[in-house]
Chains A and B, each alone.
Chain A
């Protein structure tokens, strides 16, 4: 064991931990959702560069989101969240209009029903609308007025593989298809993957998934080929408002902290960073986010934990159990010897 944090907790240098020597600094994404305009250029750029296939011409009715979730053929996913809640000091222009009740709840129910039937290769957690309570919580008294809606916000956020410090997918991969690159990102080698699907259940975000037609697991590579060529990933390159920022993770974290401070100063009290903290359940994300509300609002798990966090404890229990078994077996033999 090279490092006490190899399985969970803060880890200064995942690439070194994986055995890279003289490697470049860890890079990642900082996705600032407060400036995302929902243009989906990231989705298109990703698919174009990485030759990811079209995966369904279906109208989902989830606001302008017709991608639905991250998956084997959607490595970027822009979520659109319509809610009857205010955004900072924004004036949505509804005051004094002859409005009735909000429809966002109805919209979500229709979408949830539709998504239940969506074809998936195994991924569930964090992508299904069922478990995470996709923005269904309503603060008491949030809608003022007798029955008319006066508040509204439309949140947009481009989601992607988090390239975790402790990547559940990688840790459970039995073939070595998933590996940690010199940039500390996590990539599937398609020619090695045998489609066992362990990684799908190993991902705490529900990101990686298998393609129904070929069975292999696919996800964002953080444009490994572009990185090796000295280029930034396609999505970040295409993003017109710099909502998706690419760079050395240390710089991105500093930039994110400054931006958060700025937004708090501007009255957006609920703004927060997600995946920024090296102390969290995955040791911090290589791709982290500035969100304008709780992660659940965006369909993100509030407290993701890498499955391997429990590994030492499990081994300990397993060790205890094994010892006990051994002891029992020995006792049998010892007892038997007396016969």
Chain B
């Protein structure tokens, strides 16, 4: 679901085809029939943006027919834990959970806690929303205060306030009829999926779930994944061979760029970025890993101090908190879209580094991106070719409309040609968390250099420039260790990887894993979860033993974090007593004779902790985990069906309509996510959705994604003849029914319009697109690939110009996978007439900057519209 794996991840799809050849049934649930569907056993056509209703229906089916893997659920999830009496479900509050404040559009999550666990008083949900706080917990579980103690539970799962019963009630109205009315999926097709999924799960069988950015890029994206996780947990498909949830990442090494992040609110290894409330290392550590909490985050002090030692080396000492105060502090939303809006406003952001990215084409609301970049002092672009983000000052579409004037555009652009992946050494971290080393094949041409070269020398020159400065604000740079090995003028990537792995400073040797890291300053480590990649002073990521020469888990190919474990939480592949659930699905198990965990994979559990282990009174950290607490990163050792904390938009996934939707929410008065992040401003208008009027002006559901033949924003494909000739033009795919309704002709021109812009494309009328019946109405969906821009061998309009900025509060990702639009035959107006044309559409739909910003639609108090500061009533 939410993935077009054959087209976007063709290399990984070979394993799906191999599984199919061995008898696996492949089901593809997606708004359109893609190359993935063509190879699947079953395709289910779904209305974009309704996956939670579908998955909620699956959960309802499982629970109402007692099809869950009960022993697994009881042992490894929090199904039995009792919730606080103060908790109110969406069933009670018409689509809201308890703790909602319509004035800040945020939740106080204190009522979502377990019964016996005292919660921190009224945590300021609005501040957490600004920081995108949950993402800062990354791969960890967020804190459950007092989690290491015994949590009140009902092992029979019958108490009305136990998670299992709360879950049952929460999804009680997600019936096959409701799924059909909301998603447009005929009941028989839906039930066929339910039957296949449940029949193929349990002791003897497991089912894998694959998703990609079709799930994440929604205002409720994190909850999509939660919903998938609940299904997989109920069916016992996590931590077991052939099970799991596969998050296919959007680019090569995007996994790496969250592990060692390029994100404003994370440090390497999912440690949170300090914020203004952390006035010292102790305060920071207490917030990351409270002392009384279970699990491996209990050693966050060792991970943090080792990171600081890696950054500041000798300068970092116990006396100065290991230079913790050199770390920047965040004090609000500094995400991509906030930053771009600040660029447009012109008084906060002055320079911008654009590396391996092409925001002028590839980011939502391309127009806003280009207008922002045209309002800076300088932009640094590092890319293989002159991409649109480097040339916007002379060829952006806004030149044609008169919004950017080359002579007056003050932005100075520095373009640095970049070395491609074959022209430098280093690692990619892929979807399975596997680091694979590649050696340099050829020298980069001309002035092209690696990223490592660029940043190493940038840092070196900055340090040289600041040498001798006594200004306190220059200390962090001056104190940086910055002592990587250099060959010629190229930093040695293997040395950097070794430093990421970590070094024992007393012996000078690489550490063998994060369990060796210390909080006393005697170890340095650039990213604790990668610790072990240089174990035994060997670049483990460079291992390439053929699969024919090793076991089924290929433990000697590359290296997977953490500690080369191929399946996360694989302790759950064995029952609480440590025996495999079935011989057929054996992965790791407890060897009583040897007194250790063993198996086909490296156990994701303390090797010598027996299944019968029970922690002593008051134990915390890893010592606090029981011998059957399989989910060792969670603060209660259990997988969370219900999330008592950590999410800003509710403890359970709930069907909300997308920000722009043609339909009223049939389940609740609350239409969309009540805590989605809206930016009500004149340059970011929204199409109206029920209960607002005039949605009929934009009657069709729009979704966008990729083609195999091109790479994202086109920087790596539109310049290449062999790829460009395979998909030479921007197209819009419509069903024969919609073509008839709008008079669209195969291969002729049409244009797609939203309240942001209109873009041209050639029409592909295809049976692969089909209309849906949604609550008695016919709903048409429209699809476009987003690879085109204005430079390159083949060019076209920027599809992302159609998309506005609305975000998931948990991670601040934009809702770019579903919006509403209109489609008309013929080409769009050119030049300033385009602006006028789109303005007329807005006028017809009654759109103002307020549209879509009054997000609470349930309850007595709707709260105010959530507007950006500035003149609110000015027409966009």
Contacts and interface: CB of A to CB of B under 8 A. Distances in A.
Contacts of A149: 767
Interface in B709-748: 709, 721-729, 731, 735-737, 739-740, 746-747
Contacts of B728: 57-59, 66
A308 to B, nearest CB: 35
Interface residues of B, number: 58
Interface of chain B: mostly helix, strand, loop or mixed: mixed
Contact of B723 (A44, A53, A58): A44
Interface of chain A: mostly helix, strand, loop or mixed: loop
A44 B42 contact: no
B43 A92 contact: yes
Interface string B330-348: 0000000000000000000
B549 to A, nearest CB: 20
Contacts of A66: 725-728
Contact of B38 (A67, A100, A104, A153): A153
Interface stretch (B4-12, B280-288, B671-679, B828-836): B4-12
Contacts of A67: 725-726
Contacts of B40: 90
Contacts of A154: 33, 35, 37-38, 768
Contacts of B169: none
Contacts of B723: 44
Interface string A74-89: 0000000010100001
Given A37-B39, A92-B43, A103 B10 contact: no
Contacts of B189: 91, 93, 95-96
A156 interface: yes
Contact of B746 (A47, A48, A54, A61): A61
Contact of B13 (A44, A56, A153, A240): A240
Interface stretch (B298-306, B533-541, B770-778): B770-778
B722 A98 contact: no
Interface in B1-38: 6-7, 10-11, 13-14, 17, 21, 33, 35-38
Contact of A37 (B6, B731, B739): B6
A99 interface: yes
Contacts of A63: 766
B730 to A, nearest CB: 9
Nearest to B46: A93
A209 B30 CA distance: 41
Contacts of A262: 21
A128 B605 CA distance: 63
B390 interface: no
A55 B725 contact: yes
Contact of A97 (B727, B739, B770): B770
A95 B188 CA distance: 9
Nearest to B723: A44
A255 to B, nearest CB: 12
A240 B35 CA distance: 14
Given A66-B728, A104-B767, 13 more contacts: A54-B721, A57-B793, A58-B728, A82-B766, A92-B43, A96-B188, A97-B773, A99-B737, A99-B770, A152-B33, A152-B768, A241-B13, A242-B14
14 contacts: A35-B21, A37-B13, A37-B38, A55-B725, A64-B35, A67-B725, A84-B767, A91-B189, A92-B43, A93-B45, A100-B740, A106-B765, A240-B11, A241-B10
Q: Which 10 interchain pairs have the tightest Cβ spacing?
A: A54-B721, A96-B186, A103-B736, A154-B38, A93-B43, A57-B728, A37-B6, A91-B42, A59-B729, A61-B747
Interface of B: 6-7, 10-11, 13-14, 17, 21, 33, 35-45, 184, 186, 188-189, 192, 707-709, 721-729, 731, 735-737, 739-740, 746-747, 762, 764-768, 770-773, 778, 793-794
